[in-house]
Structure 1
Amino acid sequence: MPKTSIIPEGTGKPLAPYVPGSMANDVLYVSGTLPFDKDNNVVHVGDAEAQTRHVLEAIKGVVEAANGTMDDVTFNMIMVTDWDNYDAVNKVYAEYFPGEKPARYCIKCGLVKPDALVEIASIAHVGK
């Protein structure tokens, strides 16, 4: 099965051996996305809403680089470091998925950098 790496213009160097997105058979897999700038510094420290918006904008960039839209997202995996941020994450999340909602799950866990409050990975079906 052939696959294509999806790396939007301006993407910073990943912290580990991965690409922002990988496309196979019209299915786009978006790597876990953290609230990092292009130099892998955490942005909007302490602000779960702003971090969530930053993460979803980055995911949107990967989806659009694969010629899709956020309406093509069918599944999201959400990781938060504190349940106290759950409502803030959901508030912003709802802005990006106003219509038909994707399936998802949310877990509480530690993230790669302590100041990161949220990480999201996605799957989108980007048709031809």
Structure 2
Amino acid sequence: MPKEIVTPAGSGKPLAPYSPGTKADGIVYVSGTLPFDKDNNVVHLGDAKAQTRHVLEIIKSVIETAGGTMDDVTMNHIFVTDWANYAAVNEVYATYFPGDKPARYCVQAGLVKPGALVEIATVAHIGKP
């Protein structure tokens, strides 16, 4: 099955050997997304809400570049550095998924760069090409 690399316009170079997203058989897989600017600097230091919004906007751009919408999201994998930020993450998250909610899980973990408070990876089913 052929796959298509999905890279939104203006994306920075990934920190490691991965693509922002891949699309195969109508499914979009969005890599773990951190609150980075295009130069891989952490943005909105100390602000879990702003970081979550930034991450979800990047995810949205990957899904839209692949031809889908946030309504097509079926699964989110959420990582937070501190449970104290869980409510803030959920507050912003709910605005991106106002209707039927995708499946998800959330775990506390260390993230690749100090200052990053949240990381989200996503799966979206946008239909077969």
TM (normalized to structure 1)?
Answer: 0.99
Per-residue CA deviation, residues 63-105 of structure 1 (Å, 9 max, x unaligned), is: 0000100000000000000000000000000000000100000
Structure-to-structure mapping, 1:1-128, within 5 angstroms: 1-127=1-127, 128=129
Supply the distance in 2 between the matched residues of 1:22 and 1:66 (Cα, whole angstroms).
8
Q: Deviations over 1:14-65 (max 9, x none)?
A: 0000000000100000000000000000000000000000000000000000
How far apart, CA to CA, are the structure 2 residues paired with 1:26 and 1:113?
Answer: 32
Structure 1 unpaired stretches of 5+: none
| SS state at 1:105 partner | strand
Q: Aligned partners of 1:98 and 1:47: how far apart in 2?
A: 22
The root-mean-square deviation of aligned C-alpha atoms, in Å, is 0.5
Moved over 3 A (4+): none
Residue 9 of structure 1 aligns with an amino acid whose one-letter code is: A
The number of equivalent residue pairs is 128
Indicate the SS of the match to 1:110: coil
Using the aligned pairs only, state the percent identity.
Answer: 72
**Structure 2: how far apart are the matches of 1:26 and 1:64?**
13
* Structure 1 residue 114, shift from structure 2 partner: 1.2
